[in-house]
Structure 1
Amino acid sequence: MLAWMWGTPGAIVAALLAILVSMALVTVKSVDYIHQLTSHSAHGRSEAAKKEFLLVIAHPDDESMFFLPLLLNLQDKANFHLLCFSTGDFDGLGAVRKQELIAVWKYLKMNPFKLTILDDALFRDGMQAIWKPQDVASVVLQYAEDNVIDTIFTFDDYGISGHPNHISVHHGVKYALEQAQTKKSLRLLHGYTLDSTPLWRKYLGLLDIVFISLSNSAVVAIAPWVNYQAMALHHSQFVWFRRLFVIFSRYTFINTLTRLDVPPPKEKKVQ
């Protein structure tokens, strides 16, 4: 019994030390990673100029549920654009959800002119709705050209939650990057995707930092009150389980990214 009593506090102390050491490691690496993201050569601009970053999402509230650590870390170091492919109108609340996203963008002190919310029959919200990569890519490429975008951030091929609209956005952005690489008339774009994790890690919250301590591509934001307020502004969606999501989700605190590499264009053989 005595050994158990001594063992339990010891285990707690060891766990706390592991978390603190992991936080220190990730914080240092995060600073370097953010510098890498924001210091690549911009299109026709001086190195001192802020880069133009585009976050591509599927629905209003995706930015608050999943991408806030990225936005909070980079908003002072780059000009962030947000392209949302639907109004989230599955339940007939598209007009309401559009205004909610506008309110969140304002709360985050982002440029209101860099927010675009589509309401297009090609991109309807729904678990059965699969958006064509070519359609998504066409919009992304046009936006990138019009706004001199340097880097695009979006979902990975699982889309964090497995939602088909998230996955469609991923494939569309990937297709856009492929087109940008193969067509000389288009500017070259960088792309990054937000890593999905196993379910048990998804709800570890800040504790997941132990599992990413060796990662060189993480950004961390210890500001859960910002996430909570941002999600609360999506009041039509802020039901009980989303309140719990904000508290327990690793995406409240941590974003790990993967470079979205596309294969180089094949050179045509000279006959």
Structure 2
Amino acid sequence: MPAIRPSLLLPIFFAILSYYTISHISTHTATSQLRNRNIALLIAHPDDEAMFFAPTIQSITSPSLNNTLRIICFSTGDADGLGSTRKHELLRSASLLGVPSVNSTVLVHDHPDLQDGMYHSWSKDLVASLLSYSLHQFENGRNDENEDANPQDEVEGDGIPVDTIITFDSYGVSGHRNHISLRTAAQWYIKVYPNKPSISLYTLTSVPLYRKYLGVIDAFISAVIADKATLYAGLDGPVVQEVKYDSGKAPESLMYLSGWEGYRLAQKAMTEGHKSQMIWFRWGWIALSRYMVFNDLKLDTIGYQEY
């Protein structure tokens, strides 16, 4: 019997565990809930899209789902004076992850009151104002009425209003106050700004520290304990399986599981897209983090709470 090359063991492990994960979610159909959606992903810093949301981005940008994705980044991550570099790295990373036309679908803000800071909460009113500006710009083109707005690029409107927002949850993965501020502001925006159509808000689930570094193993754990879930998995290609929901209602939760190729692509988005950020501890993150291979999102009830 020929020996299995060591280099093949990890992909085989991914395939087996991914298949086993799928098999533990019952009563599935083969359609996607997030189909024909106009989605805005809200991130705090360049590299958030790759470090935390790569499985989601790779799944929802599949052409067969007919979604439109915009990414709104609320700072340049200029803590080390690399803001301009990091903005261009975000465009490169988003392109690698499958976001089309990044020059017109990715918007980066650079506001003096929205700077990178682990323990610095951002004003919900300011972020909501910039969110309103950004969504208006994506839909209608330039909007000069917002004095707070100072995006790094101007984009042309495409006439498509956003109906779905994805961002961090109330813990922001790591307790990062910038991340948490986005959820608070998104809730506030949905509550106080007039929106047509109505907007569904999904937030990325935070988990305890020990689960962050279990990779695909945590995907299995999450899938087994989930009562209702939509699971996207890529083994040889995207496999879409989903729990049935009442017609017209947004799914209560979504799961996105990348296969080996998707996992490697997420790593590439960091190592080739965000070269300036690849200091020692991020190598550990891209190798072991569950967020590089698995995302679970929950529909937010928009129960606004001040933080």
TM-score band w.r.t. shorter chain = 0.7 to 0.9
Aligned counterpart for 1:206 among listed residues 216, 231, 246: 216
1:242 maps to: 282
In the alignment, does 2:123 pair up with 1:124?
no
In the alignment, does 2:43 pair up with 1:54?
no
Query: Quick one: structure 1 residues 83 and 19, their matched pair in 2 at CA, closer, same or farther if it must change by over 3 Å?
Result: closer
CA contact (8 A) 2:77 2:86 kept: yes
Stretch deviating more after TM superposition (104-113 or 229-238): 104-113
Aligned counterpart for 1:192 among listed residues 202, 216, 224: 202
The share of aligned pairs that are identical, in percent, is 33
Instruction: Find the structure with the greater CA-based Rg.
Output: 1
1:156-197 deviations in Å (ceiling 9; x for gaps): 0100011111111111111111124xx4x6542111000000
2:76 maps to: 87
Stretch deviating more after TM superposition (188-197 or 212-221): 212-221
CA contact (8 A) 2:40 2:164 kept: yes
Aligned counterpart for 1:37 among listed residues 20, 30, 34: 34
Aligned counterpart for 1:73 among listed residues 45, 59, 65: 59
2:21 maps to: 22
CA contact (8 A) 1:69 1:219 kept: yes
Counterpart amino acid of residue 43 in structure 2: I
2: CA distance, partners of 1:26 / 1:122:
44
1:37 match: secondary structure: coil
Query: Quick one: structure 1 residues 139 and 31, their matched pair in 2 at CA, closer, same or farther if it must change by over 3 Å?
Result: farther
TM-score, with length taken from structure 2: 0.70
CA contact (8 A) 1:83 1:116 kept: yes
1:213-254 deviations in Å (ceiling 9; x for gaps): 242121111122101110012011111211111111111111
1:63 match: secondary structure: helix
More helix by share: 1
2: CA distance, partners of 1:199 / 1:192:
22
TM-score, with length taken from structure 1: 0.79
Query: Quick one: structure 1 residues 30 and 136, their matched pair in 2 at CA, closer, same or farther if it must change by over 3 Å?
Result: farther
2:267 maps to: 228
1:14-58 deviations in Å (ceiling 9; x for gaps): xx98774324335985965xx1122xxxxxxxxxxx321100000
Counterpart amino acid of residue 221 in structure 1: S
Q: CA RMSD in A?
A: 2.3
CA contact (8 A) 1:98 1:117 kept: yes
CA contact (8 A) 1:145 1:186 kept: no
Counterpart amino acid of residue 269 in structure 2: A
CA contact (8 A) 1:26 1:212 kept: no
Q: Which runs of 5+ in 1 are unaligned?
A: 1-15, 39-49, 265-271
Query: Quick one: structure 1 residues 202 and 263, their matched pair in 2 at CA, closer, same or farther if it must change by over 3 Å?
Result: closer
2: CA distance, partners of 1:122 / 1:138:
13
CA contact (8 A) 1:224 1:247 kept: no
CA contact (8 A) 2:39 2:163 kept: yes
Runs of 4+ in 1 over 6 A off after TM superposition: 16-19
1:4 maps to: none
1:85-126 deviations in Å (ceiling 9; x for gaps): 000001111111111111112223422201001111121111
2:282 match: secondary structure: helix
CA contact (8 A) 2:216 2:293 kept: yes
CA contact (8 A) 1:137 1:172 kept: yes
Counterpart amino acid of residue 130 in structure 1: S
1:166 maps to: 179
